[in-house]
């Protein structure tokens, strides 16, 4: 069922209440999500994006109830990833000659995923535009690596709507459609989680792209992303947040993330937490067991932190596999300007602390020398080293 966004612009996407994970199992979904597609009915009828492949038949059937598909003059594919282009195969069977406006990289990506189908692609670059009647036009803005090489945004003049695709979205199902109607606590929780876990590796590009969009001097009344709620009240609030988040963001917080075999490493983690609070009562302390808690939520807390402490016991000359995988994810997110410390128990060879330090350095953290390395189980002597470690993290 369509929902009005503004004047002749409607939402025609899919509200994905049942979704539990995204990008395989890389991203946890806890409050549903949506794939937002939009229908513009001016003198020209334009479809902006489609929905994920499993919902392609429902998408086309629902669209048929709203309009005669043959009335669609053209399609804009802002992004080739299958959560937005995955219904094209079903749609194009109905209207095979309809032009598809997208970037050059998008053509390659769509053809790579769905095969060459001789679709009528029209390649566009930043600044290209098309008239849609009633004095309005669509202006295209390439969003390369935000977050794929083919990503693009489309700006509609007259109604001043920026169809931003993945940028400024959230994995959050909002039946009421608009950010001002959504639960604000959940909205911002999901917006920051989405930024950290999907866009943070490209934070530098985010900052530059925001400058570029501002320099276009286009009025923006609505930001309509491809996931989650649409920003219509003070839409620039999410742009300003992105600018802040993209600039080596941190709060007065320290996050401790660890895994354990026989609870020795847990005891060190808890003592570090207590000591942080003792030395700096205003510092927020978060403690997570990597194998038991949601990795995307942990990364969001790491993002907010000025320092982290990471723990693992040694197992067969290495860190635990849960911690190893987590460190790979951590490296990929490219955090900046954060300190890190390592800790862990061992029984035989005891490599884990050194490996943690090396991998944290490789992930871009400023690793402090102080560490806690406990043979068998933490002793009073080990615990007595914690105040120095915490002091170094807090400085």
Q: Please identify every residue annotated as catalytic.
A: 23, 79, 81, 83, 147, 166, 194, 227
Q: Which is nearer to ligand FEO, 148 or 172 (CB)?
A: 148
Half-sphere exposure of 89 (CA within 13 A, CB side): 16
Q: Which is nearer to ligand FEO, 153 or 340 (CB)?
A: 153
Give CA–CA dist 323/342, Å, rounded: 12
Using Cβ positions, the residue closest to ligand FEO within the complex turns out to be 81
At its nearest, how many Å lie between ligand FEO and the CB of residue 106?
11
At its nearest, how many Å lie between ligand FEO and the CB of residue 213?
18
At its nearest, how many Å lie between ligand FEO and the CB of residue 50?
11
DSSP H stretches of helix in 98-177: 104-114
At its nearest, how many Å lie between ligand FEO and the CB of residue 82?
8
Contact 11, 2 (CB under 8 A): yes
| Pairing assessment for the beta strands 74-76 and 100-102 based on DSSP bridges | parallel
Burial of 306 (0-12, 13-18, 19+ CB in 10 A): middle
Q: Which is nearer to ligand FEO, 85 or 305 (CB)?
A: 85
Residues belonging to the chain? 395
Helix (H, G, I), strand (E, B) or coil at 231: strand
Report which of 383, 378, 387, 309 is spatially closest to residue 347, judged by C-alpha positions: 378
Interface residues toward ligand FEO, by CB under 6 A? 79, 81, 83-84, 147-148, 166, 226-227
At its nearest, how many Å lie between ligand FEO and the CB of residue 227?
6
At its nearest, how many Å lie between ligand FEO and the CB of residue 2?
21
Contact 301, 333 (CB under 8 A): no
Answer positive or negative: Cα dihedral of 352, 358, 362, 368: positive
Q: Which is nearer to ligand FEO, 44 or 79 (CB)?
A: 79
Q: Which is nearer to ligand FEO, 154 or 226 (CB)?
A: 226
Give CA–CA dist 330/256, Å, rounded: 13
Question: Phi and psi (nearest 5°) for 271?
Answer: -65, -40
Q: Which is nearer to ligand FEO, 166 or 351 (CB)?
A: 166
Report which of 317, 320, 371, 309 is spatially closest to residue 347, judged by C-alpha positions: 317
């Amino acid at each position: 069922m369509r929902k009005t966004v503004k004047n002749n612009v409607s939402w025609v996407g899919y509200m994905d209440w049942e979704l539990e994970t995204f990008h395989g199992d890389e991203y946890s979904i806890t409050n549903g999500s949506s794939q937002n597609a939009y229908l513009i009915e001016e003198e020209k009828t334009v479809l902006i994006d489609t929905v994920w492949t499993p919902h392609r038949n429902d998408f086309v059937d629902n669209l048929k109830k709203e309009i005669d598909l043959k009335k669609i003059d053209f399609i804009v594919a802002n992004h080739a990833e299958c959560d937005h282009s995955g219904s094209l195969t079903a749609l194009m069977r109905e209207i095979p000659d309809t032009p598809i406006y997208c970037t050059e990289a998008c053509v390659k990506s769509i053809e790579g995923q769905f095969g060459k189908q001789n679709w009528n692609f029209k390649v566009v670059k930043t600044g290209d535009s098309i008239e849609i009647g009633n004095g309005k036009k669509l202006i295209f803005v390439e969003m390369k690596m935000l977050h794929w090489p083919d990503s693009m945004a489309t700006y509609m003049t007259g109604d001043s709507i920026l169809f931003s695709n993945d940028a400024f979205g959230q994995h959050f199902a909002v039946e009421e459609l608009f950010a001002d109607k959504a639960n604000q606590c959940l909205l911002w929780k999901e917006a920051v989680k989405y930024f950290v876990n999907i866009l943070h590796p490209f934070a530098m590009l985010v900052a530059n792209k925001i400058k570029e969009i501002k320099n276009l001097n286009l009025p923006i009344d609505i930001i309509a992303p491809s996931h989650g709620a649409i920003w219509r009240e003070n839409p620039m609030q999410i742009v300003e947040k992105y600018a802040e988040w993209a600039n080596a963001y941190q709060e007065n917080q320290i996050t401790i993330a660890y895994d354990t075999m026989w609870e020795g490493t847990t005891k060190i983690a808890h003592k570090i937490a207590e000591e942080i609070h003792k030395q700096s009562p205003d510092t927020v302390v978060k403690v997570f067991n990597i194998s038991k808690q949601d990795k995307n939520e942990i990364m969001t807390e790491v993002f907010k932190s000025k320092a982290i402490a990471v723990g693992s016991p040694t197992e067969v000359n290495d860190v635990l596999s849960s911690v190893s995988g987590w460190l790979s994810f951590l490296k990929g997110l490219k955090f900046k300007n954060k300190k890190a410390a390592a800790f862990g128990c061992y029984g035989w060879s005891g490599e884990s602390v050194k490996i943690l330090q090396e991998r944290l350095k490789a992930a871009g953290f400023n690793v402090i020398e102080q560490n806690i390395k406990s043979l068998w189980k933490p002793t009073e002597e080990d615990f007595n080293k914690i105040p120095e470690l915490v002091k170094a993290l807090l400085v």
